[in-house]
Structures are given as structure tokens and as C-alpha cells.
Amino acid sequence: APDWYTPAYVALAVAGFALIALPAHMVEYRETGVLRRFQASGVPRGAVLGAQMIVALLVSTVGAALLLGAALLFAGASSPADPAVFAAAYALGAVAITTIGVLLGTLLPTTRSAQAVGLLLWFVVLFLSGSGPPPEVLPEGLRTIGDWLPLTPVVRLLQEPWLTGEWLVRESLVVAGVAAVSGAVAWFAYRWE
């Protein structure tokens, strides 16, 4: 069981920061006028969004590394079957999840709404994406909802190299598509105030 859940919890660790903290932080910047000051200083939109992505990815990666260390040392998890493939899957999945957080931070109107929506989404993905109860024990309707959540292919993409060392092409394409669409919508929906 630790080998099944460890990579899923890595996805949850990234989602925790990306869906809850990152959107609230971005909206707070907009509410308090920090973004207007950036705009007045000539800071390009891409620099603001890119900086948010980089910081979120760094924080998430530290959290994921601590989780992996604890799982390997204390929970009896085995090492990934192919660490390089797992690292590549992590990078792709973390970028996709973080891009969703940037999208939420761009679209949501208030810090409170960003925290509420992010927390709600995190609990939904916890229970339906394969990170909590195994999908096989869920009713068919909930499994179907889980299949459409963006974290589900990330969880599968991380679990496969951990368990077998294989790269899942279909899931990687879905995850890359989620990142691209979320990033594009965030770019065009971005507003300074």
C-alpha cells in the first residue's frame, strides 16, 4: 500500500499548495494593489505569472521531497522502479497542477473565494482522483467524476513509474493538455486590478 499511495500523496502535496495557497496569494496581490504597482513599474504580465509558477513549484517540490523522504524512511515505501521517469512525470504533473492554481488565481474575485474554491477542489480530488480511497471502491458515478478531474491522470502518471518504471503516454498527453489550456486561459484572463 505505501508504494501505491506515496506517488498519489506527492500529487496531493503539490495540489495542496497549488489549489489553496497559490490562488489566494495571487488574488491578495490583486486586492491589495500589488499588481497595479507591478504594472506601473512596467513589469510584464509574463514575469508576474512566471514568478508565481516558479515559487509555487519550488515550494511544492520541497514539500514533495519531504513527503518522499518520510515515506521511504518511515512508511516502508520502496524506491521508484525508475527514478528518472518518476522525476519527469513529477515535473509534468507539478507544472499542470500549478498552472491550474494560477488559473484560479486569475479568475477568482476575492481571497476568501480563492481559499474556499481551492479547499473544496482539494477535497474533491483527494477523494475522487485515486489519492484517497482506491477508485475501485467508489460507486460508478463517483469513479466517472474522478476520471474527469485533472489530478487523476497526474496521479496515474506518477504511480506508473513508481510501480513499474513505465511512462504513460495517454496520461502525459492529457496532463500536458491541461497545463496548456489552463496556462492559455490564465494568460488571456489575467487582469492587473
Q: Which three cell numbers stand for residue 51?
A: 514568478
Q: How far is the C-alpha of 143 from the C-alpha of 127, rounded, in Å?
A: 10
**Interatomic CA distance for residues 154 and 157, integer angstroms:** 5
What distances in angstroms separate CA 178 from CA 76, 103, 148, one per listed residue?
33, 11, 11
- Residue located via cell numbers 467524476: 145
pLDDT at 78 (0 to 100): 95
CA distance 57 to 127: 23
**DSSP single-letter state for residue 136:** G
Per-residue model confidence as pLDDT tens digits over 121-169: 999 999 999 988 888 899 999 999 999 999 999 999 999 999 999 999 9
pLDDT for 46:
94
DSSP string, 78-126: PPPSSHHHHHHHHHHHHHHHHHHHHHHHHH-SSHHHHHHHHHHHHHHHH
Q: For position 187, what pLDDT does the model report? A: 96
Burial of 40 (0-12, 13-18, 19+ CB in 10 A): exposed
* CA distance linking residue 140 with residue 39, whole number of Å: 48
Report the pLDDT averaged over residues 89-93.
98
Give 25's pLDDT tier (boundaries 50, 70, 90).
very high
Q: What is the pLDDT of residues 106-122, one digit of tens each?
A: 999 999 999 999 999 99
User: Could you say which DSSP state residue 190 is in?
Assistant: -
CA–CA gap between residue 134 and residue 132 (Å, rounded): 6
CA–CA distance, 182 with 176 (Å, rounded to integer): 10
Percentage of the chain exceeding pLDDT 70:
100
